[in-house]
Chain A
Amino acid sequence: MVNHKNIIEVKNLVKKYGSFVANDNLTFEVKESEIFGFLGANGAGKTTTLKILSGLSYPTFGDVNIAGFDVYREREKVKRNIGYMSQKFSLYEDLTVKENIRFYGGIYGLSGRYIKEKTEDLLKRLKMEDIKDKLINSLPLGWKQKIAFSVAIFHNPKIVFLDEPTGGVDPITRRDFWEMIYEASNTGITVFVTTHYMDEAEYCDRVCIMDQGRIEAINTPSLLKKQYNAKNMDEVFIKIAR
């Protein structure tokens, strides 16, 4: 991990909505192929930060650098290098599995042949060859989630942003899902994930804990537990939030 260079650099990031400060002077880095967990209660400012990093919203103040590009001036280049999965899974319910993959591959400008080959490969790995022509709305939540993640990294982005990707899914499916995240990380994709499940924080290489728009702690899960003298991340979080 030490030798890797920074792929996300955030310096003095401030985001205000009127007089409300959603992100108060954040500074942090994420390293290449790291799994970076962004934790916090609802309303702590996680989603705001994620939106700024993925180019959905502009910062009020501060420098944000993604994959070597500035989010203000090189927005288009940033967009080509990132993938995004929202908490709603963001698939088209009335399109089939294959059509969804085709569509999302298409908007990233991938060639038809490449999409076709990679889709077959992907469906095989997910063991979903039988359901490729089924509509998304007929599938269980866990499957949708896996497809949504695969779609988010289909165009081989350098970074993938996951906004509370495991909401509403059972523990076993969640474990499966984290397997996929590890796989992606092993191929060199940086994973930036927000969550409020503290057990998931244990799976991250490093976590950042936010409270009321500020960063309260940032480190590896094991060092955080040591620092706060806690058994698990849940305790760490409670100690910080109180």
Chain B
Amino acid sequence: MKRFLGFVKKEFNHIFRDYRTMLILFGMPIAQILIFGYVVSNEIKDIRIAIYDKSKDNVTQEITNKLLASDFFILDRNIINDSQIEEAFKSGNIREVIIFEPHFAEKLEREGKAGIQILADASDANTANIVSNYTSAIVKTYMRNELMKGSFPYEIETKIQILYNKEMKGVYMFVPGTMALILMLVSAMMTSISIAREKEMGTMEVLLVSPLRPLHIVLGKVIPYIGLAFVNALVIIALSYFVFGMPIHGSLTFLLIETLLFILMALSLGILISTASNNQMVAMFISMFALMLPTMLLSGFIFPIENMPKVLQWLSAIMPAKYFIIIVKNIMIKGSGIAVVWKETLYLIGLTILFLAISVKKFKVRLE
């Protein structure tokens, strides 16, 4: 046991003496969560629009009011003929033009339908998408309300209802994602690099010749990172709770247990990577390209999984980060317990065991 403690102490020395490691360990989580929280955002706010109302009746006026009453849109100008549309877009600051067809209210009453044309500036496709979705959502909400009041004698089939994240806050998405990313980075990348470093420097041979058992060597290398990753998770949760107002509706203890499980999974993945790499460079590249990028792109963290091509959806289905994100969201936002996320939890446990088993086997093969 004393021998083992000496080993862990040495590992902490390595970490605390390398300012780059320290920076990655403590600077990055904070920087990332702040960047994702403040800068990268899918929310729209104060989007400048133009309205071309060819009807000018009470219904179009009401819809316009609804649109402008939301925080999303600001009326930049009213347009009175077709030629001004292009001019409006070319002026640069207008993202969307909304056109009501002539005799809007009349048509609604007579035929049961009327057209609104939404023109969006898709030079920024993502924003265009969101802006037009928001617009149609607001129009539909208005229609539904009017229908319930009985103002219009027709049916509307679409129904959009946003649950749990009513304000559509991006931070709800980014906190679980950032957490997955950071924990993956600290646990998997840092351990695989630190084990690969021992191999590169030749110190691994000396350790293997010594009476220390291989299991102890691996544990000694991994334990400091469990601690550090856990501290990181706490920092991220605290930041998101206090700075961004992300709720924790579920049990904090349960959240921390799941976090620990994800850390263990990432660590065993890190050990697995290190068995396949003989130097730090290789370990880093494998971690970067096999872990970080897929975690960011395929886990549903940044891009919705539903919009991916089928093949990528299958790939996404094996990403551990995806399941961790689901778990964290369920616990923090919906307040769910194990009864809801047991499948995801089981998957993470299974992966951990699988990675460890392969690592042990590979480690033995190396000794042959």
Contacts and interface: CB of A to CB of B under 8 A. Distances in A.
Interface of A: 54-58, 76, 79-80, 82-95, 99, 102-104, 106-109, 152, 161
A215 B306 CA distance: 66
B69 interface: no
B205 A86 contact: yes
A83 B210 CA distance: 8
Interface residues of B, number: 22
A92 B10 contact: yes
Name which of A54, A55, A80, A94 has the most chain B CB atoms within 10 A of its CB.
A94
Contacts of A90: 201-203, 205-206
B201 A92 contact: yes
Given A56-B209, A76-B211, A90-B202, 5 more contacts: A84-B206, A84-B209, A92-B14, A92-B201, A103-B10
Contacts of A76: 211
Contacts, number: 74
Given A57-B367, A58-B368, A99-B10, A93 B201 contact: yes
Contacts of A84: 205-206, 209
A16 to B, nearest CB: 10
B6 interface: yes
Chain B interface, DSSP helix/strand/loop, else mixed: helix
Of all A-B residue pairs in the complex, the 10 with the closest CB atoms, nearest first, are A88-B202, A106-B6, A84-B209, A90-B202, A86-B202, A90-B206, A79-B211, A90-B203, A107-B210, A86-B205
Contacts of A161: 209
A64 B10 CA distance: 34
Contact of A86 (B6, B7, B14, B206): B206
Nearest to B216: A107
Contacts of B208: 55-56
Contacts of B6: 102-103, 106-107
B110 interface: no
Nearest to A152: B206
Nearest to B16: A94
Contacts of A55: 208-209
B349 to A, nearest CB: 32
Contacts of B7: 103, 106-107
22 contacts: A54-B209, A57-B367, A58-B368, A79-B209, A82-B209, A84-B205, A84-B209, A85-B206, A89-B202, A90-B201, A92-B14, A92-B201, A93-B201, A95-B10, A95-B14, A99-B10, A102-B6, A106-B2, A107-B3, A107-B207, A108-B3, A152-B206
Nearest to B5: A106
Given A88-B202, A89-B202, A90-B201, A108 B14 contact: no
A56 B7 CA distance: 20
B82 interface: no
A152 B205 CA distance: 12
B212 interface: yes
A90 B205 CA distance: 8
Given A99-B10, A102-B6, A103-B6, A92 B203 contact: yes
B18 interface: yes
A106 B367 contact: no
Contact of A106 (B3, B14, B202, B203): B3
A90 B3 CA distance: 19
Contacts of A88: 201-202
B211 A58 contact: no
Contacts of A99: 10, 13
B13 A94 contact: yes
B164 to A, nearest CB: 47
Contacts of B209: 54-56, 79, 82-84, 161
Interface in B1-31: 2-3, 6-7, 10, 13-14, 17-18
Contacts of B202: 86-90
Contact of B205 (A56, A92, A103): A56
